[in-house]
Amino acid sequence: MRFDVLTIFPDMVRSALREGVVGRAVQQGRIELHCWNPRDFTQDRHRTVDDRPFGGGPGMVMKAEPLMAAVAAARQASPGARVIYLSPQGRVLDQAAVADMAQAPGLILIAGRYEGVDERFINACVDEEWSIGDYVLSGGELPALVLIDAVSRLLPGTLGHDESAAQDSFSAGLLDYPHYTRPEELQRQRVPAVLMSGDHARIARWRKKEALGRTWERRPDLLARRDLTPEEATLLAEYRQEWEA
C-alpha cells in the first residue's frame, strides 16, 4: 500500500516511520511512503505557503494553490488513492474506518499547519476529512502518522503472528484483556491461575470474559454499539456477578 503525505515537515514524517513494525514494512517495500512539500510547488522567491486570513483574526491560513499543485502530483503518482485531510473538523476515526482505509490502493494524507487551509482547497481536492480525536494539535503530521500506523498494522505481513493479539479484540469492538508476563508473583500480586493452567480453551474463555467485562466497566458506549452473542452475554453476566460479589 502507498501513503503520500503532503507536509511542510517531511523529515518529521519520514523519521517517525523508520522504527518498529511500520519501519520494517517500509524497508521491505510492503509499504510505500512519499512526502510532498507544498513549498516545492510555490511560484514565489520566498516559497510562500501561508497567508493572512480574509476577515482578520489570529494566525495564518495555508494557501490553496501550492496544496492543489502538490495533490495533483501525488494523485498522478498514486492512482485511485483516497485524498484525506486530517483536521479537528473531520469525522472521528475508529477501528472500522481504519479497516476500510486499509482496502484502498493508496492514501494521500494532507497535514495542515497554522490555523488550517483555504476552504477552496478542501472543496476542490479533498475526498474525506478525518479527525483522530477531539483535540487540536499544532499540525496534521501526527494525525497522519497515527493513521498510517493504524492502517499499516492491518496490512498482511506487517505484524508477525505474535503481535496481532491487541488488534483482535478492538477489531471485535471490545477493549483488550489484561496481559501478564514473568515473574509469576510481583509485589504480592499473582498472575491469574487460569493463565498458568495450560488449558487453552479455558484461557480463551477467561480472556473473552475479561475483554467483555472491561468494556462494560470502562466503555459501555462500545458495548451499546455491539450485539452480544448468547455466549458473550453469559460471560458478561458471570463477570458482573464476580464484580458485584
Ligand X SMILES: NC(=O)c1ccc(NCc2cccc(O)c2)nc1
User: Shortest Cβ distance from residue 7 to ligand X (Å)?
Assistant: 11
C-beta closer to ligand X: residue 121 or 216: 121
Cell of 182: 514473568
What gap in Å lies between CA 239 and CA 211, rounded to an integer?
A: 10
Query: How crowded is the C-beta side of 72, counted as CA atoms within 13 Å?
Result: 10
C-beta closer to ligand X: residue 97 or 191: 97
Site string for ligand X, 51-90 (x = CB under 6 A): -----------------------------------xxx--
As annotated, the active-site residues are 88, 115, 153, 168
Q: Which residues are annotated as a binding site for S-adenosyl-L-methionine?
A: 112, 132-137
Q: Considering CB under 6 A, how many residues would be counted as binding ligand X? A: 14
C-beta closer to ligand X: residue 138 or 189: 138
Hey, which residues does 2 pair with through a beta bridge? Answer: 32, 106
- Please check whether residue 233 is in contact with residue 226, taking contact to mean a CB–CB distance below 8 angstroms: no
Q: Does residue 135 touch ligand X according to CB under 6 A?
A: yes
C-beta closer to ligand X: residue 7 or 158: 7
Q: For residue 71, which of 111, 101, 114 has the smallest C-alpha distance?
A: 111
Q: Does residue 178 touch ligand X according to CB under 6 A?
A: no
Q: Does residue 116 touch ligand X according to CB under 6 A?
A: yes
**Quick one: which segment of 68-76, 135-143, 157-165, 224-232 binds ligand X (CB under 6 A)?**
135-143
Helices (H) and strands (E) counted in the chain, each on its own, are: 10, 9
User: Which of 17, 112, 211, 212 is the binder for ligand X (CB under 6 A)?
Assistant: 112
DSSP 123-190: HHH-SEEEESSSS--SBSHHHHHHHHHHHHTTSTTTS-GGG-HHHHHHHTTSPPPP---S-SEETTEE
Kindly report the backbone phi and psi dihedral angles of residue 129, in degrees, each rounded to the nearest multiple of 5, phi listed first. Answer: -110, 125
User: Shortest Cβ distance from residue 154 to ligand X (Å)?
Assistant: 19
Q: Does residue 122 touch ligand X according to CB under 6 A?
A: no
Cell of 119: 476552504
The residues that touch ligand X, with contacts defined as CB under 6 A, are 86-88, 112, 116, 131-133, 135-137, 139-140, 143
